[in-house]
Amino acid sequence: MVILASNHNTEHDRAVKLSYGGQMPRADAARNRRSLLDAASAELAAHGLDVSIARIAARAGVAKGTVFNHFPSKEDLVAEIFGDRVAGLVALGEGLRDAVDPGSALLQFMTAGIELHANDRSLCEAAASISRADPRVREASEGLAQVAEDLTGAARRAGVIRADVTGHDIVLLFNAAAQAAAPLGDTVPGLWRRYLHLIFDGLRPEAAHQLPVAAPTTEDFNTAAQNARANTLDQRNRHR
């Protein structure tokens, strides 16, 4: 996945400041934090959501207490990683806004988004359960929705995709292609690219028919996130 460093760093710095009361951390603290994020991302990808904080700390080469000094809970850690990854995707999209070929730009953006989902399924599943009340998740989600709509709008105006496709549709389709390939993901690496191109061909205006249901709205996403959070809290309370 291509990441445009300047915008990505800006988004990442903002997320770090949120976690440090609006101030940038010392250099050694920042290095520990980066090490923890890289270790946690790798462990989540390899072992899923049940990976222990102790395992993450060992991979990062720090004490378990150091993890909690930076991130009070695993949920905080996942939110930070999610925000970091999505910031890279948003930066890519922002760099494609003025592309000469809007169709190719949208395809490149979708390729990066689906690759993120295919390679980090556990992270995306975990982030989906975190409330949008978390400022890192909210900012990342809103930025992604905006750049997806910008690129989709340009492709609509150019006539390369059907007129009723929205940025929200595109974001949801990231997961669709990744999930389609998931059962054979380890056996046939890169299979998600087949489903990406099947989906993209389906977005083209030729022979398009009216869709039976309207595209989801931002309010729909907010409601779904609130319901997911409420269900998670309810399950936790039941197990106490």
| 111-132: b (≥16 Cβ within 10 Å) or e | bbbbbbbbebbbbbebbeebbb
Q: Among candidates 158, 167, 156, which has minimal Cα distance to 221?
A: 167
Q: Specify the pLDDT at position 55.
A: 92
Query: How many C-beta atoms surround the C-beta of residue 168 within 10 A?
Result: 18
Q: For 149-176, what is the mean pLDDT?
A: 96
- First and final CA of the chain: distance in angstroms? 41
Helix axes 135-157, 102-119, angle to 10 degrees: 150
Phi-psi region of 211 (alpha: psi -120 to 50; beta: other; left: phi over 0): beta
The more confidently predicted of residues 130 and 70 is 70
73 membership: H or E segment, kind and range: none
- 135 vs 211: which has the higher pLDDT: 211
Residue 152 pLDDT > 90: yes
Give mean pLDDT, residues 39-66: 86
Return the pLDDT at 156: 97
Question: Phi/psi class of residue 170: alpha, beta or left (left: φ > 0; alpha: ψ in -120 to 50)?
Answer: alpha
Locate 27 and state its tokens. Answer: 């250099």
Q: Note the pLDDT of residue 131.
A: 57
pLDDT for 59:
92
Q: How far apart are CA 119 and CA 87, in angstroms?
A: 16
pTM reported for the whole predicted model? 0.79
Check: CB of residue 229 under 8 Å from CB of residue 131: yes
- How far apart CA 160 and CA 182 sit, in angstroms, is 28
Q: Which of 106-115, 128-137, 154-163 has the lowest mean pLDDT?
A: 128-137
**Could you write out the DSSP letters of every residue in 21-43?**
TTSPPPHHHHHHHHHHHHHHHHH
